[in-house]
Amino acid sequence: MDALILTFDQIGIEDVPKVGGKNASLGEMFQKLNPLGVHIPNGFAITATAYRLFIEENNLKEKIQDQLARLDKDNFSNLKQVSDAIKSLILKGKIPDSLVKEIEKHYEKLCKVEKRTVDVAVRSSATAEDLPGASFAGLHESFLNISGNEALVKTVRSCFASLYNARAIKYRHDKGFDKFEIALSVGVQLMVRADLASSGVIFSIDPESGFPNAVLITGCWGLGENIVQGAVIPDEFLVFKPSLEKGKKSIISEKAGSKTKTMIYSKSGGTVNLNTPIEKQKLLVLSDEEVELLAKWAVQIEKHYGLPMDIEWAKDGHSGKLFIVQARPETVHTEKDHFKLKEYSLMEKGDLLTSGYAVGNGITSGKVKVLHSAEEADLLKEGEILLTEITNPDWDPIMEKAAAIITSKGGRTSHAAIVAREMGALAIVGAEDALEVLKNGNEITIDNASGKIGKVYSGQLKWKINEHNFKGMKLPKTAPMFILADPEKAFDLSFFPNQGVGLMRMEFVVTKNIQIHPMALVHFDQLEDHEAKEHIELLCEGYSDKKEYFVDKLSQAVGTIAAAFYPKDVILRMSDFKSNEYANLLGGKQFELSEENPMIGFRGASRYDHENYREGFQLECEAVKRVRNNMGLDNLKVMIPFCRTPEEGKKVLKIMETYGLKRGKKGLEVYVMAEIPSNVILAKEFAKVFDGFSIGSNDLTQLTLGVDRDSEILSELFDENNPAVRWMISEVIKVARKNGKKIGLCGQAPSDKPEFAKFLIDAGIDSISFNPDALLRGIKNMVKAEKKK
């Protein structure tokens, strides 16, 4: 007979039939990765052979089959009754004496090694578990903080019974596993006292987009069950793998979650969920060094298995050490074809009701159905949008009926998020006020197509879907690039055919992510607007230096886009607000002049070395320096807008150098926007100052023709195809090429007008940048133009 128990150092990944996916993975890591410094708690596995011995000695096989034969496989109306009957049979069964002796022997050996009576985690591991395409997330039971022989033996039987949880029976049926003989192994592992510290989940890729170069780490105080259940909104850390490998600052984004609950062990047994003190809610659960260590482990685990991985980590409150307590294949993106993409866009506007973390890319609409427990399943009709606080595996059959799922708690690694991804359903998790603002019967539209934040709008709005298949798509020799503003879309867009980002607009980040005029942060103490001052205090909570708030937020946003397209060029345009737009930022009115014509006023390069904005520009430069030098994202270039004269360009480069950004040092390239007639007329002189040009066709058209681009009455005169504008564009391209400088164009015209794309390519332009919704149309026009050429 095969062994009833195998220790972790006897188990490898090939042993799934003996010990299930979870235990096979733990044994594999304990043997192969523990020696490399990845901490895996020691333990042993009660094998599938032991489970079958238990079933055989208690004569349960036929009784279980009889009960399963009763199951209503159409509507699953008697699922709970069948499940309860089988579990009752197992829980009344007697663990064979031979197995009891083996369990006690191995437990006592663990105690001897640790020189104490140890607490252990006891986890179920089904023999079909954790296979690509089937996560089995939370379907079988886990028991924590078990101590002593008697308690351990009793818990093993409870794990055996959980093979027939209602949710597990249904899941196996849906996945087609009910045709196979499933057995259950039980893992017994040294307990990591995360209840006294923290724990969480790691994905070795971005779980929403499947972007392979990022590691997502989530964490909460206490036991990680709160994250899995979605009971808390956890901290999130995004780590960029190439920066990690270079030894650079690899955390490109971090967000503090509310972490309102902390799950700990109860003295009477079991667990209790306590309110987290407010001060502790504001603290991050991991230091930067701990985040990067976990990310390194995740990369090692992923490389070892050759697959994206879903990993659980825990920190021991006694020793302060980090551990990996579980690892399984990521089940959604493993088999996804990234050449095929669906692009969704809303065609109507509605009132924004609530928002949260978006899970799944798409748009849907329907009526809200509020459910408070899985027992209310019958109330949900096919196609309704399920709204609840949190979900657990008991909700799985219900979630399949819903058009989408909204939870008021939870993060991107919660149970609701994992199951929604696996089902291909849309979900919004952590929409904290959803249960207050949404009521039964409300007609709503869920928009998960515009970034990491999912939005809920009132009414059933219209939307459209464009399906793309990039496989074999012909690309032009002229580089197609993006015009981008929103970092939340960057990972998704990185899968489109492209050669990088020709224009990243800083203004979007300042307006949406930062919201504050940089000079109001530099001179906060002199701010006269008390209301703005209070709002700024709120936004900058947790930052002892308010200037750091600006640098941190901007560097994270820019770093995310630079990482998404690494190592391709990402060209960041330094701020190009007009004075009236700057004035609309928090605290902005005090620092801005009132101008008659802001469009040709105090904007772009003229601000950067002026006393009214010099310190604000320094913050912009600090953010760029952090992305390039600290994060190691040297694919980031910068571009200076609205630079009227070569002399002004030299002044900007000089002040950038004083702030630690020297053109040419560490490969830093600085471009200039060609958007003023003087940029074209003096192009030869500008070419001596800058590394390249980017034609801003909107401003160049406006200033060449003397037509306000925002004027409706003059809209027919605004035309990039006008011979005067074309002459300007072809002239600056000619001078750039003659002087060995790169030149591109950013604008809508090459996607809307094939003849304009042909004109640019015939003129010899290096790159054309498009808004995301126009990229594919633009590429087709470019390919056609090159063919004609």
Q: What are phi and psi of 322, to 5 degrees?
A: -95, 150
Between the alpha carbon of residue 612 and those of residues 517, 536, 561, 570, 601, the distances in Å are: 12, 20, 29, 29, 14
**What is the three-class DSSP state of 407?**
strand
Strands (E), 641-716: 670-674, 692-696
Q: How far apart are CA 254 and CA 251, in angstroms?
A: 7
Q: Would you call 38 helix, strand, or coil by DSSP?
A: coil
Q: Are 428 and 416 in contact (CB under 8 A)?
A: no
Describe the crossing of helices 775-788 and 754-763 by its angle, rounded to 10 degrees: 60
Nearest of 214, 290, 246, 205 to residue 628 by alpha carbon = 246
Q: Which CA distances in Å does 201 have to 175, 230, 414, 415? A: 24, 12, 9, 11
Cα separation of 645 and 74, whole Å?
75
Instruction: Identify whether the C-beta of residue 278 lies closer than 8 Å to the C-beta of residue 164.
Output: no
> Which of 159, 220, 621, 746 is labelled catalytic?
746
Tell me if 356 sits within 8 A of 453, measured CB to CB.
Answer: yes
* Residue 456, both tokens: 């809920």
| Tokens found for residue 305 | 């298995």
Bridge partners, 314 (sequence order): 199, 323
> Is 173 annotated as catalytic?
no
Q: For residues 218 and 403, is the Cβ–Cβ distance under 8 A?
A: no
Q: What one-character-per-residue DSSP string does 153-219 give?
A: HHHHHHHHHHTT-HHHHHHHHHHTGGGS---EEEEEEEPP-GGGSEEEEEESS-TTT--TTEEEEEE
- Sequence-distant (6+) residues with CB within 8 A of 74 are none
Confirm whether 540 is a catalytic residue: no
In angstroms, the CA 236 to CA 685 distance is 48
User: How many degrees, rounded to 5, is the angle at CA 304 between CA 309 and CA 144?
Assistant: 55
Strand order in the sheet with 43-46: 5-7, 43-46, 184-190, 119-126, 142-147
Alpha helices in 473-586 (DSSP H): 490-493, 506-509, 518-522, 530-539, 546-565, 579-583
Q: Rounded to 10 degrees, what is the CA torsion of 21, 22, 23, 28?
A: 80
User: Which of 39, 106, 415, 517 is labelled catalytic?
Assistant: 415
Q: Using alpha carbons, select from 216, 624, 202 the residue that is nearest to residue 452.
A: 216
- The DSSP bridge pattern shows strands 479-484 and 767-770 to be parallel
Strands 742-746, 767-770: parallel, antiparallel or unpaired by DSSP? Answer: parallel
Report CA Rg, the chain.
30
| Beta carbons of 158 and 91 less than 8 angstroms apart | yes
What gap in Å lies between CA 660 and CA 551, rounded to an integer? 14
**Comparing C-alpha atoms, which of 199, 194, 203, 209 is closest to residue 238?**
203
Q: Known catalytic residues?
A: 415, 746
